[in-house]
Amino acid sequence: MTTTEMRRTAPRRRRIPVFCAGIAGLLLCIVLSLAFGARSVPVATVIEALLGAAQSRDALVIIDMRLPRTLVGIAVGAALGLAGAIVQGVTRNPLASPTTLGINAGAGLAVVTAIFALGLDRPVQFVWFAFAGGAAAAAFTMALGRRAGDLDPVRLVLGGTVLQLVLVSWTSAVLVFSERTLDEARFWLAGSIAQRDLAALAPVAPAMVIGLLIGAAIAPALDTLALGDEAAKSLGAPVARIRLAGACAVVLLAGSAVAVSGPIAFIGLAAPHLVRPLVGNSHRLLLPSCLIAGPLLLLAADILGRLVARPSEVEVGIVTAFLGAPLLALLARTREVR
């Protein structure tokens, strides 16, 4: 508790430089994301292309393929980062993440089922199924995690784990059953922002915006919640209603992210942990910071995925899982987990 209070006040002087550094880092990632690929393009050409000055083939690649991909990456990363911060605030569990709620597994099963049953074959068509599947799984996990009208963090994590095992098993059943489905779905299931255009982002953009607005609205309430249920209640905070609103925001944000990109794990877990030591625990700062940290992490992982397997690439979801798994283990190890 004392360290929490210290953290909340100490870095005030550092805040502006930290924000500036974060934005600079994000800009750098954006530029690199535009410049790197199977064919690397000089930064000068990138800028010319963005300003509409260049007409070369490189400029076309940048404007038609890498720019949409980067924009999708920014949106998805921001949604995941924000969702992670909110879910950790709502459950008061630093190890919770949208994945814990089963959103990724639910979306995976829904998409695979849709491909199998309806014969879909383009990521743009998966959007609504992924969203609905993720939302349904999250709702179910939260129903499991409820106790005495409130969400119990331990039950939430355990229930989510079991639900994931089952959903993944059902997903693989469909994939074993239909080779065509496996062939269509395996790239989506890995989690990727390659070949995504703004048409995939458009349908869920409103959901993202609503999630963002809810997040902004409940940020002060999440600070009150951090004091503990008893204290929050005695201050007159409608604890259960705050949790419900937070949960809705998480479903909207993470659900739309997975709808666009497929399941990308660990961004939602890592972004809040990255910024907490820098800006403190107040959600009024934590949430906006995650809007920078999320895209930063996602684009960095995406660029890394393009670098390690050139001229091919490794899907960003696989990169984040490889990098995030040790991080989760480390957090589970160092945090006093009860």
Partner 1 sequence: MVVETTTPRVTPLIRQRRRAAGLIAVCAVALVLLAILAIASGEVRMPVPSALRAAFGIGDPGEVYVVQEFRAPRLVAGLIAGAGLAIAGAVLQRLFRNPLASPDVMGVTGGASLGAVLVLAAGAGQTSIPLGALGGGLFAAILLGVLGWRSGLPVLRLVLVGLAVQAGLAAAVNLVVVRFPKELAGAAMQWTAGSLYGRTWPEVRGAVIACALVLIALAVQHRTLAVLDLGDESAATLGVAVSAARLRLLLTTVALASLAAALAGPVSFVALAVPHLVRMLAGPPTAATLAATGLAGATLLVGCDLTAQHLLPIEGLPVGVVTATVGAPWLLILMLRESGPAHRRNA
Instruction: Provide DSSP, 189-211.
Output: HH---TT--HHHHGGGHHHHHHH
How many Å is the maximal CA-CA distance in the chain?
Answer: 65
Least distance (Å) between residue 172 CB and partner 1: 4
Distances (CA, A) of 16 to 11, 13, 101, 295: 10, 7, 34, 19
Q: How far is the CB of 116 from partner 1 (least distance, A)?
A: 12
Nearer to partner 1, 181 or 281 (CB): 181
Minimum distance of partner 1 from residue 338's CB (angstroms)? 4
Q: Is 229 in the site for partner 1 (CB under 8 A)?
A: no
Q: How many CB atoms lie within 10 A of CB 144?
A: 18
- Residue with smaller CB distance to partner 1, 90 or 248: 90
Structure tokens that stand for 318 in this block: 């696989």
Which of 134, 33, 39 lies closest to 77, judged by CA?
A: 33
Nearest approach in angstroms of CB 297 to partner 1 is 16
Span near partner 1 by CB under 8 A; candidates 1-9, 166-174, 204-212, 219-227? 166-174
Q: Which of 81, 108, 251 is nearest to 185 (CA)?
A: 108
Burial of residue 241, with CB atoms counted within 10 A of its CB: 0-12 exposed, 13-18 middle, 19 or more buried: exposed
Distance CA 111, CA 134 (A): 10
List the beta bridge partners of residue 146: 151
Instruction: Give the nearest distance from C-beta 306 to partner 1 in angstroms.
Output: 15
Whole-angstrom distance, CA of residue 53 vs CA of residue 46: 10
> Quick check: 337 binds partner 1 (CB under 8 A)?
yes
Q: Which is nearer to partner 1, 212 or 239 (CB)?
A: 239
Establish if 190 lies at the interface with partner 1 (CB under 8 A): yes
Residue 43 or 166 having the CB closest to partner 1: 166
Q: What are the CA-CA distances from residue 173 to residues 33, 163, 170, 178, 182 (Å)?
A: 36, 15, 5, 9, 10
330 Cβ contact list (under 8 Å, min separation 6): none
Pick the binder of partner 1 from 23, 143, 176, 199 (CB under 8 A).
Answer: 176
48-107 binders of partner 1 (CB under 8 A): 95
Q: Which stretch, 11-19, 207-215, 246-254, 311-319, contacts partner 1 (CB under 8 A)? A: 311-319
Q: Is 322 in the site for partner 1 (CB under 8 A)?
A: yes
Q: What is the DSSP string of 25-71?
A: HHHHHHHHHHH-SSS---HHHHHHHHHT---SHHHHHIIIIIHHHHH
| CB of 107 vs partner 1, minimal distance in Å | 15
Question: Which residue, 19 or 170, has its beta carbon nearer to partner 1?
Answer: 170
**Which of 118, 154, 202, 209 touches partner 1 (CB under 8 A)?**
154
Q: How far is the CB of 41 from partner 1 (least distance, A)?
A: 26
The secondary structure element, H or E, covering residue 271 is helix 267-279
Please report whether residue 125 would count as binding partner 1 according to CB under 8 A.
Answer: no
Binding residues among 243-282 for partner 1 as defined by CB under 8 A = 265-266
Residues that bind partner 1 (CB under 8 A): 95, 144, 152, 154-155, 157-159, 161-163, 165-166, 169-170, 172-173, 175-177, 179, 182-183, 186-187, 189-190, 265-266, 314-315, 317-318, 321-322, 324-330, 332-333, 337-338
